[in-house]
Structure 1
Amino acid sequence: MTAYGLAHLRTASTHADVLEYLRRIDATLAPFGGRFLVHGGNVEVLEGTWPGHLVIIEFPDLPTARAWYDSSDYQEIKPFRTRHIAGDVILADGVEPDHSSAELAASLARQSA
């Protein structure tokens, strides 16, 4: 099942370390089939607040996403970002192509009955 790495980066910086991180991150993703779906850019806030930037990276599955994050190549460049940009990073499973919120609601209702 497809998985995603999501980052909510609350501060922006053009520090030399951040630029180095940006130059090198693509090479860390390639061996794991990772690709950017969203990388900064504008967001339209419809509810609540959203200070910062959004990054979404797609991976073939959660174990592969975790392997990328834990890889020595990514761990080597990660401090270039974390020393200069505050944010939250998570990994999340996607859903199957036939996912249905209505079926999920029915299942949850049965479980709570």
Structure 2
Amino acid sequence: MTAYAIAHLYPEGRPDAEVIDYIERIQSTMDPYGGRFLVHNAPVEVVEGAWPGAVVVLGFPSIGEARAWYASPAYQELAPLRTRNMAGDLVLVEGVAADYDPRATAAALRAAAGAAPVA
């Protein structure tokens, strides 16, 4: 099942040389794990709440590959180039199956809560 690395970053001004080096080198750390960029610092359209900063979304074939990429010596050597220069949050999350139906999740939640279904 596809997994994602999602970063909410807070860049301040123009990227410095270390951040540019990080951007140049990150793909090579992802290649052995089947990782690819899905979103990279694209403008966001905020429709609810606030979203200061930038968003980056990476896709991996599975949560195992995403974890292995993040823990890899190649990425751990590279990560400080970003973390020293840009605050942010990074999460790894597993996606849902292609046949995922949120109604089944709602039914399970209703059953657990003892609530009647909506007509």
TM-score (norm 2): 0.92
* Shift in Å, 1:108: 0.9
User: Mind listing any 5+ residue stretches in structure 1 that lack a counterpart?
Assistant: none
Instruction: Name the counterpart of 1:4.
Output: 4
* Shift in Å, 1:41: 1.2
**1:6, 1:55 → 2: CA distance?**
6
Amino acid at match of 2:11: T
**1:76, 1:87 → 2: CA distance?**
18
* Shift in Å, 1:27: 0.3
**2:44, 2:7 → 1: CA distance?**
13
**Where do 4+ consecutive residues of structure 1 move more than 2 Å?**
none
SS at match of 2:49: coil
Instruction: Name the counterpart of 1:102.
Output: 103
TM-score (norm 1): 0.97
Instruction: Name the counterpart of 1:50.
Output: 51
Instruction: Write out per-residue CA displacement over residues 40-70 of structure 1, whole angstroms, 9 at most, x where no aligned residue.
Output: 0111000000001000000011111000000
SS at match of 1:89: strand
- Number of matched pairs: 113
Instruction: Name the counterpart of 1:90.
Output: 91
Answer with 1 or 2: which has the greater Rg: 2
The alignment's C-alpha RMSD in Å is 0.8
* Identity across the alignment (%): 49
Once structures 1 and 2 are overlaid, which stretch shifts more, 97-106 or 82-91?
97-106
* Shift in Å, 1:100: 1.1
**1:8, 1:14 → 2: CA distance?**
16
Q: Verify: 1:64 aligned to 2:79, yes or no.
A: no
